[in-house]
């Protein structure tokens, strides 16, 4: 039972880490890189107004969002694999699927340009898998070293 719980917790921790990194990058995007866009969007709750702001957003602002998603995916994939203590791949792919579903939900709420949809399906799964591959491989428990 413990390995199953560890696996579930690993994916949840990866999702939380990925989300945190994405939020930091997106906040920096609106406050540091594109402050005029951030000021226009600050405090806006009307979905139509948010869609209008997104439609007028420069391409660079959307690219920064994709970069944030990639960094978040790498961080989440790394953490999920590290916590799971399993070979890279499985946990990262589950996390990548969850992050991709979250990205699709985001895209459905605030329709982005077509290229952003493609990036959603490519960047998130690949980034989580890359993060998993960055975890150092442990030597097998039964291995012996020769002198």
What does the domain layout of the chain look like in residue ranges?
A: 2-133
Q: What is the pTM of this model?
A: 0.85
Write a three-state SS string for the chain: CHHHHHHHHHHHHHHHHHHHHHHHHHHHHHHHHCHHHHHHHCCCCCHHHHHHHHHCCCHHHHHHHHHHHHHHHHHHHHHHHHHHCCCCCHHHHHHHHHHHHHHHHHHHHCCCCHHHHHHHHHHHHHHHHHHHHCCCCCCCCCCCCCC
pLDDT digits (tens, 9 = 90+) for 5-58: 999 999 999 999 999 999 999 999 888 888 888 888 888 888 888 888 888 888
pLDDT digits (tens, 9 = 90+) for 52-103: 888 888 899 999 999 999 999 999 999 999 998 888 778 999 999 999 999 9
């Amino acid at each position: 039972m413990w390995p199953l719980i560890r696996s579930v917790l690993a994916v949840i921790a990866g999702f939380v880490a990925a989300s945190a990194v994405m939020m930091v990058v997106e906040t920096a995007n609106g406050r540091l890189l594109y402050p005029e866009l951030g000021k226009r969007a600050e405090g806006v709750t009307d979905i139509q107004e948010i869609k209008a702001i997104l439609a007028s957003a420069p391409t660079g602002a959307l690219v920064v969002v994709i970069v944030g998603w990639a960094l978040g995916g790498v961080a989440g994939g790394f953490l999920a694999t590290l916590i799971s203590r399993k070979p890279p791949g499985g946990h990262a792919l589950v996390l990548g699927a969850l992050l991709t579903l979250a990205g699709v939900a985001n895209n459905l709420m605030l329709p982005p340009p077509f290229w952003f949809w493609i990036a959603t399906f490519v960047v998130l799964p690949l980034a989580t898998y890359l993060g998993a591959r960055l975890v150092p491989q442990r030597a097998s428990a039964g291995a012996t070293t020769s002198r």
